[in-house]
A and B are shown apart, each in its own frame.
Chain A
């Protein structure tokens, strides 16, 4: 009996063969991803918190200085360690300790941000150019998570308005949509359909132009670590944390209100505006109080949440005449 030998290996170019170490790395990655699928669950949190996170120590990342800003809050800073180990970045897992564990994989170079939509100067801007676009400032902001905890973080960046001025949106631009990069090979959280990927957030044009709205590149005097949204993110301090989108690779100026990820996931719980508002509860929990990470412990009650996270004086005017119970 004659069996014809398969000859397909003849037409595989040597360049097409996956190098062994890449192959191994991929296997390793798949193993970890598989582990994440279940190992992220059915473990008590105390165990997860302990097994988690090679902590990025301060001083390990590239320096990024910024001059002090009058817009900075006077609150006591949340320790660096807490800021870089307790993160919501679902692309790297839904557990708050997972991003610190996995986000160092994020490829933050080369990086560019696409400018699209209703804007004169379309096209990609390289991250190096973005870094030089305006002088860096250090802005100490309160950050209030929709889950009821808060931090105080010294961000480094400049007002997003600086970028808007350069790219010149047309008269039709009423909103700005921001998109987080999609890196399926580094973002192990993407395999879980917990949210619609890529993550999208948005602002009304006047919110985007507000001087407090920060295009952010660093924290604590260094470039952003992966888990905090390297290499460039948004910080909107008077809104719940999920509005401050991480690792932006696309900015789209739009005439209509963009569909944002959490709003798509549960519209009755996460509105487009999502301003911090102690008088409007999340349907499932109160937003009247919050716990400041690193400060409010076992023997101090939660502190009262402030209207617009304490930025009412600067931003309340943006919402004049709006029913904030309706436009939550």
Chain B
């Protein structure tokens, strides 16, 4: 029998996850302030915010498999928070781009977005995250209706795919890290596909309810 935390425990876990997910930001902020981000601090900021955005996206996508495979239903209660953290780091990443790379010159920025495929896909990923973040509140779920809301939020599967592509197209020769991110993503999405196909097959028992 999987562990079932009570509501107070859930709150405590949420608070802990919130704090842990905030740590990278605090570390970067402190590093930027104290000169602790290495020789090229702007590169560090840019790369790390993108890295953590991908990390949070994968963490968000890992919750459903965790629920199904380990029977930990309560982990889904972390999903909105982790998703919003992905948006948070994505927004910081976008900020480094428009600030440090383009010095807030919007025209130049859009030229870059159109001209360079790796930026194009990164930008699209960020734009997709916007409506998801904006409609993440309970009130918005009610306003849109559960079904519409869910349809909209399926877009979330696209974001890390674009994110991995963005990273893959950026690196010069060493593709190990994008490859690892990509493999994890393929696993998380592959599991979903497998479950879908399995559950759809006629004549088989419905998925067991745990």
Contacts and interface: CB of A to CB of B under 8 A. Distances in A.
Interface of A: 38, 40-42, 44-46, 49-50, 52, 81-82, 85-86, 90, 94, 96-97, 147, 149, 192, 194-195, 265-266, 284-286, 291, 293-294, 297-298, 301-302
A297 B36 contact: no
Interface in B32-87: 32, 36-44, 47-48, 51-52
B103 A301 contact: yes
B176 interface: yes
B118 interface: yes
Interface of B: 24, 27-28, 31-32, 36-44, 47-48, 51-52, 100-101, 103, 112, 116-118, 169-170, 172-174, 176-177, 180
Contacts of A194: 173-174
Contact of A46 (B38, B117, B174, B180): B38
Given A81-B39, A96-B40, 12 more contacts: A44-B52, A45-B47, A45-B51, A46-B37, A49-B38, A49-B39, A82-B39, A86-B39, A284-B116, A286-B112, A293-B39, A298-B32
A322 B58 CA distance: 49
B32 A293 contact: no
B40 A86 contact: yes
A274 to B, nearest CB: 13
B48 A42 contact: no
Contacts of A41: 176-177, 180
Most buried by A among B32, B38, B117: B38
B101 A302 contact: yes
Contacts of A50: 36, 38
Nearest to B48: A44
Contacts of B51: 44-45
Contacts of B170: 284
12 contacts: A38-B176, A40-B176, A44-B24, A44-B48, A44-B52, A45-B38, A46-B48, A81-B39, A195-B173, A266-B173, A284-B116, A297-B42
Contacts of A86: 38-40
B173 A90 contact: yes
The 3 closest A-B pairs by CB, nearest first: A49-B38, A86-B39, A94-B174
B165 to A, nearest CB: 13
Contacts of A97: 38
A267 to B, nearest CB: 13
Contact of B31 (A46, A286, A293): A46
Nearest to B104: A301
Contacts of B24: 44, 46
Nearest to B96: A298
Contacts of A94: 173-174
B173 A265 contact: yes
Most interface-central of B24, B39, B117, B174 (chain A CB within 10 A): B39
